[in-house]
Structure 1
């Protein structure tokens, strides 16, 4: 029996590398999946890479807009009858620069997607899970949600906010059969890291510097992250809630 047979999952940021890898693993494990992303074109490309089927629906949404979030929850329930898993994954890094040089608009944009988006997902999915008496939410934070990050202060602040939301929600719904956890990846070999590297002016040197900071001496692959998300989504983690899971190649051991 597959780990997610009969389960229904929502994945936000579904058109990104981690989103696609997680969707593929969820589908392989028997889940029906709602892919949510702000870009309709990117969603179409994601579906092409996954293969079309009755176990996939796509929903275009801006996770900072409450009506869009309500809509993706409602559309998922309409399509599959329930919501068992939310992978609250949409996020951006923002501009790489010192705090004193960051424009307020850039700060608000990062906080909106990375923190407000997580909050709205929780707000609108948890009532369904409470009604069902079961569910698992996995919120994407970062290693920078557990430390400072010079040059990425809005990103670090937003990812710290994810921890507070995760712990608070976990305690509020623990007696309802619903679990909420966060994951904290190191740099992952996706387009997001390529954008950070290129913004430094010397992407090759920047990549090597990031890799040198990871004891396992490589970036995570999107599939590495997906495997952890699967564990937290499945009944294998049924006694785990309110936890922060590092998946960082040993970076946390240095702190």
Structure 2
């Protein structure tokens, strides 16, 4: 495998496991240094160790929507690795299942703050600290739930729809030196998505033309491509990674 990211540095939020960690692993395998963020210190430390320790990775604990945490993580990344060329906004929460009409406003605000506002804020932080002067690439992890109605997870889908629009808007604003793209996965077998397939994986997968659910490595390769120079003429795009399920109207 080539070293497309030699000399480059990435911040990946929500990266102690699942899709975020898979993306970090792919970037490190291709030469990047990475900063991982997550709320819990123990899984984060394990993730950093698995990436080769301090030589390759830095772990910073905090809440994704905490602006002080964001600023500190960006500053420590630049201080440690000298730059920040790539940002992957992967953090997302979905604490509420059920109809939108029944949701408490406090829950709605929190999901919006983590899934949307935090992505904008992280982008602002890396822009001010490095990318405004040096350029870079931003990748937002959205969802197929943001592309069409998603009964039961409508709030989550609504925030991911906003993230899609945010991606396109920032791509227009930040070009030509900063590219902004997104990924929209369907169900990927992670702890985060367990409720969508636990004890019914075969039933759920039967709705997919490729007859299986996604795994984190299905996402990490596409992420690496969009972050790389091979995608240098791509910005403001949302790549759907769904095993074909949206061809049939599903999420």
TM-score tier by shorter-chain length is over 0.9
> Secondary structure, in 3 states, of the residue corresponding to 1:192?
coil
- Runs (5+) with no aligned partner, structure 2: none
Tell me by how many angstroms 1:153 deviates.
1.3
| Aligned counterpart, 1:161 | 162
- The 2-side partners of 1:239 and 1:204 are apart by 42
Tell me by how many angstroms 1:218 deviates.
0.9
| Aligned counterpart, 1:247 | 241
Contact 1:90 1:113 (C-alpha < 8 Å) held by counterparts: yes
TM-score under structure 1 normalisation?
Answer: 0.92
- Runs (5+) with no aligned partner, structure 1: 198-202
The CA deviation string for residues 149-205 of structure 1, in whole angstroms up to 9 with x for no partner, is 101111011100101110111001113x110001000100110121444xxxxx423
Contact 1:63 1:120 (C-alpha < 8 Å) held by counterparts: no
- The 2-side partners of 1:94 and 1:125 are apart by 28
- The 1-side partners of 2:75 and 2:170 are apart by 21
| Aligned counterpart, 1:200 | none
Contact 1:142 1:159 (C-alpha < 8 Å) held by counterparts: yes
> Secondary structure, in 3 states, of the residue corresponding to 1:180?
strand
Given the alignment of the two structures, is residue 204 of structure 1 paired with residue 199 of structure 2, yes or no?
A: yes
- The 1-side partners of 2:208 and 2:49 are apart by 33
| Aligned counterpart, 1:131 | 133
Distance change >3 Å, CA 216–CA 104, structure 1 → 2? same
Contact 2:48 2:54 (C-alpha < 8 Å) held by counterparts: no
The CA deviation string for residues 197-245 of structure 1, in whole angstroms up to 9 with x for no partner, is 4xxxxx423x344323322111111011000110011111000000011
- The 2-side partners of 1:217 and 1:110 are apart by 31
Tell me by how many angstroms 1:124 deviates.
1.1
RMSD after superposition: 1.5
The CA deviation string for residues 2-42 of structure 1, in whole angstroms up to 9 with x for no partner, is 11111100000111211111111111100011011121122
- The 2-side partners of 1:189 and 1:14 are apart by 15
> Secondary structure, in 3 states, of the residue corresponding to 2:188?
coil
Given the alignment of the two structures, is residue 142 of structure 1 paired with residue 136 of structure 2, yes or no?
A: no
- The 2-side partners of 1:155 and 1:37 are apart by 19
TM-score under structure 2 normalisation?
Answer: 0.93
